């Protein structure tokens, strides 16, 4: 099943005639291509993808005249429609003659071209899916004014549902993404020491990610001591004896948008014995969860397994979820979450971030997190290269 087929299947209960895609991530998910300006600006209207769900109908993309030729190779499966922009593209003949041979009396915007497409395909009174959770109110109003008889149906959650089970090519991409980010953090683990700064370490991570062919996520954090329990970017703070050092982040696939999210926490030097014991509890609880993952297990049961394992040793432990699905973003945590209220069953092809954190404000913090792909018989850990314990670290 392709990614397009997955979104069509996920939205089938809505009885739609088509789906209008406006976000960069879902544009790529539905079509396999990424419009440049839409991806950079995230402003709806720079490009549209229209999935025509009626039999024997071709999907369409609407993009700027400056970019449309880049998609000419897609004409066998997509109708590529250009709208006019401020760029002022001319043909060679126009350049040589010094004349404007198109004689346009009005420039057609993306919304103009969308309206023309809908009218030409006789869909002016259709039921069309729209990502309402990611589109601004003012732009929804523009769509409604331009196409007043369309019945717009929110398909935001349908995309998340579709993306929660990966296709074979997606899984292969994730294996490569996880290799890149995992090898980058492995390089960091070999340099962690008292006196090294957080910024030095995160720079090692970034450079190794890029050397491995992927983009380090800008939000990747690294904190030590009291800042290991804070959501922050790396600072010039140096690591001290007894500090916890926590990394939490990943890398991204550029305009393919897929991203990773995993974490390690190391205890450096002569640590508080109770911290050592706490880390052991968290690591063992996360391992129990990973060992239990298999198709048919409820997410809520997986949550309870990890949660109760920690609470046996930390009676006041509280946590809303112990992991999540992940796909193209922009957020890192997609549904389904590994939570007490999620009764969905785990399925083969899901990629999950399994995490057991514990944060202590002003002191130290932990996150024990790995990415796994669910198989027919269990799961494979994708982030297996970077150790949870450094050489010589007390267990």
Task: With CA atoms as reference, report the closest residue to 369 among 180, 185, 153, 121.
Answer: 185
Q: Which domains are present in the chain?
A: 3-163 (3.40.350.10), 168-381 (3.90.230.10)
Query: Band of the pLDDT at 75, cuts 50, 70, 90?
Result: confident
Number of neighbours of residue 132 by Cβ within 10 angstroms: 15
Length of the chain: 395
Task: Please state the pTM of the whole predicted model.
Answer: 0.94
Considering only 83-87, 195-199, 337-341, 361-365, which range has the smallest mean pLDDT? Answer: 83-87
Per-residue model confidence (pLDDT) at position 90: 85
Question: Bridge partners of 345?
Answer: 298
Q: From CA 221, how far away is CA 57, in angstroms rounded?
A: 46
pLDDT tens for residues 212-245?
999 999 999 999 999 999 999 999 999 999 999 9
Q: What is the number of helices (H) and of strands (E) in the chain?
A: 11, 16
Output the CA–CA distances (angstroms, integers) from residue 255 to 80, 266, 329, in the order listed. 19, 33, 11
- Given a cut of 80, whether residue 50 has pLDDT beyond it is yes
Q: From CA 214, how far away is CA 210, in angstroms rounded?
A: 5
Per-residue model confidence (pLDDT) at position 344: 98
Output the CA–CA distances (angstroms, integers) from residue 82 to 3, 68, 73, 123, in the order listed. 25, 6, 14, 20
Pairing of β 221-224 and β 262-267: unpaired
- Given a cut of 80, whether residue 105 has pLDDT beyond it is no
pLDDT tens for residues 380-392?
999 999 999 999 9
Per-residue model confidence (pLDDT) at position 375: 98
Q: From CA 268, how far away is CA 246, in angstroms rounded?
A: 11
Q: Is the dihedral of CA 184, 185, 191, 196 positive or negative?
A: positive
Beta strands in 94-179 (DSSP E): 127-130, 151-154
Query: Band of the pLDDT at 65, cuts 50, 70, 90?
Result: very high
Q: What is the largest CA-CA distance in the chain?
A: 82
| Preceding peptide of 330 cis, ω within 30° | yes
pLDDT tens for residues 203-220?
999 999 999 999 999 999
Task: With CA atoms as reference, report the closest residue to 233 among 258, 257, 262, 198.
Answer: 198
């Amino acid at each position: 099943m392709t990614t397009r087929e997955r979104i069509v299947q996920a939205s089938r209960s809505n009885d739609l005639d088509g789906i209008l895609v406006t976000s960069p991530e879902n544009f790529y998910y539905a079509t396999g291509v990424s419009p440049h300006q839409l991806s950079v600006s995230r402003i709806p209207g720079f490009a549209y993808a229209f999935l025509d769900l009626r039999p024997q109908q071709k999907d369409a993309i609407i993009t700027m005249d400056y970019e449309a030729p880049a998609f000419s190779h897609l004409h066998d499966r997509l109708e590529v429609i250009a709208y006019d922009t401020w760029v002022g593209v001319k043909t060679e003949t126009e350049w040589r003659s010094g004349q404007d041979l198109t004689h346009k009396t009005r420039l057609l915007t993306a919304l103009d071209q969308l309206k023309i497409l809908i009218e030409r395909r006789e869909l002016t009174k259709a039921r069309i899916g729209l990502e309402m959770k990611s589109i601004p109110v003012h732009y929804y109003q523009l769509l409604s004014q331009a196409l007043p008889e369309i019945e717009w149906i929110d398909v935001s959650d349908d995309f998340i549902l579709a993306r929660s089970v990966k296709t074979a090519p997606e899984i292969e991409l994730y294996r490569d993404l996880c290799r890149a980010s995992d090898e980058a953090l492995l390089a960091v683990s070999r340099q962690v020491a008292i006196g090294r700064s957080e910024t030095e370490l995160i720079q090692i991570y970034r450079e190794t990610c890029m050397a491995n062919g992927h983009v380090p996520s800008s939000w990747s954090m690294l904190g030590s001591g009291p800042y290991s329990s804070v959501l922050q970017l790396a600072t010039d703070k140096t690591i001290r004896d007894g500090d916890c050092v926590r990394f939490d982040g990943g890398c991204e696939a550029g305009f393919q948008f897929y991203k990773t999210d995993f974490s390690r926490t190391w205890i450096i030097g002569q640590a508080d014995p109770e911290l050592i014991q706490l880390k052991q509890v968290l690591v063992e609880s996360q391992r129990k969860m990973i060992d239990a993952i298999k198709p048919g297990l409820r997410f809520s049961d997986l949550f309870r397994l990890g949660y109760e394992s920690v609470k046996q040793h930390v009676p006041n432990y509280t946590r809303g979820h112990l992991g999540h699905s992940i796909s193209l973003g922009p957020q890192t945590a997609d549904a389904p979450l590994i939570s007490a209220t999620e009764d969905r069953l785990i399925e083969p092809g899901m990629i999950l971030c399994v995490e057991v954190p514990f944060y202590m404000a002003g002191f130290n913090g932990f996150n024990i997190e790995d990415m796994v792909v669910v198989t027919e018989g269990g799961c494979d850990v994708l982030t297996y290269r970077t150790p949870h314990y450094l050489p010589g670290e007390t267990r």
